[in-house]
Chain A
Amino acid sequence: AQSVTQPDIHITVSEGASLELRCNYSYGATPYLFWYVQSPGQGLQLLLKYFSGDTLVQGIKGFEAEFKRSQSSFNLRKPSVHWSDAAEYFCAVGDVMDSNYQLIWGAGTKLIIKP
């Protein structure tokens, strides 16, 4: 069965430090991969996505993610976090064969920024 795992429920990082949020997926072929961010009480905003091609994708707000097929991972990174990055981050997988375009969601990782 398809699944998405975000092993860290929450992560605390000092402002200015680097960040890596983990995402692993289980899928039979190469899926579409997404990272979304949700600020408190808000909807979801797409940070970046991977469909094909270059395995290192750049997103908004200085985020990037790298697709590693051998590890079934799509980890999100940022070299220097800002206090405004504090939010919930969700990894999601889309099925390339699903004409309904449903997404499978990870449980989310809450990012806490220390001053």
Chain B
Amino acid sequence: GAVVSQHPSRVICKSGTSVKIECRSLDFQATTMFWYRQFPKKSLMLMATSNEGSKATYEQGVEKDKFLINHASLTLSTLTVTSAHPEDSSFYICSAPGLAAEQFFGPGTRLTVL
């Protein structure tokens, strides 16, 4: 099946710094990728849809200037959490769609902001 990787798997940063998370489709091209946030013991919350060559589409309530998304190529999308604060600590997961709404998920990135 299709493989999606994420890097880093775990990151700890100081409050006020920025953190970049990469999402790569390893064996297929993805013109669209999704970024999710998952709070402890909660379901996935779709943050934004990343579109190759164009601006990302953000879900209501998600700050565009705080969560910068860049989909620079058909295999790479990045999420940058700018000026991170402790409340941004979470598990971030990306996915890329396959056929008929099936999505392939990355392993996730655990962000801890001190």
**Is the pair A107, B102 in contact by a Cβ cutoff of 8 Å?**
no
Q: CA of A110 to CA of B43 in the docked complex: distance in angstroms?
A: 11
**Is the pair B44, A105 in contact by a Cβ cutoff of 8 Å?**
yes
- Within the complex, which residue of B6, B34, B43 is in contact with A90, where a contact is CB–CB below 8 Å? B43
**Is the pair A100, B100 in contact by a Cβ cutoff of 8 Å?**
no
Q: Does B81 contact A (CB under 8 A)?
A: no
**Is the pair A102, B46 in contact by a Cβ cutoff of 8 Å?**
yes
**Is the pair A51, B100 in contact by a Cβ cutoff of 8 Å?**
yes
Q: Does A46 contact B (CB under 8 A)?
A: yes
Closest to B51 in A: A100
Taking CB atoms, residues of chain A closer than 8 Å to B101 are 32, 34, 94-96, 98, 101-103
Residues A46 and B43 in contact in the complex (CB < 8 Å), given A100-B49, A101-B32: no
Binds B, one of A13-21, A37-45, A74-82: A37-45
**Is the pair A44, B102 in contact by a Cβ cutoff of 8 Å?**
no
**Is the pair B43, A43 in contact by a Cβ cutoff of 8 Å?**
no
Binds A, one of B65-73, B82-90, B106-114: B106-114
Shortest Cβ distance from A5 into chain B, in angstroms?
Answer: 11
**Is the pair B32, A43 in contact by a Cβ cutoff of 8 Å?**
no
- Within the complex, which residue of A36, A43, A100, A107 is in contact with B107, where a contact is CB–CB below 8 Å? A43
Using a CB–CB distance below 8 Å, which chain A residues touch chain B?
Answer: 32, 34, 36, 41-46, 49, 51, 90, 94-96, 98, 100-103, 105-108, 110
Q: Does B97 contact A (CB under 8 A)?
A: yes
Closest to A101 in B: B97
Shortest Cβ distance from B65 into chain A, in angstroms?
Answer: 23
Taking CB atoms, residues of chain B closer than 8 Å to A43 are 6, 93, 105-108
Taking CB atoms, residues of chain A closer than 8 Å to B43 are 90, 105-108
Taking CB atoms, residues of chain A closer than 8 Å to B95 are 44
Q: CA of A41 to CA of B112 in the docked complex: distance in angstroms?
A: 13
Could you jot down 22 A-B contacts, CB within 8 Å? A32-B101, A41-B91, A42-B107, A43-B93, A44-B93, A44-B105, A45-B105, A46-B1, A46-B102, A95-B101, A96-B100, A98-B101, A100-B97, A101-B32, A101-B101, A101-B102, A101-B103, A102-B46, A102-B101, A103-B101, A107-B43, A108-B43
- Within the complex, which residue of B41, B91, B103, B107 is in contact with A103, where a contact is CB–CB below 8 Å? B103
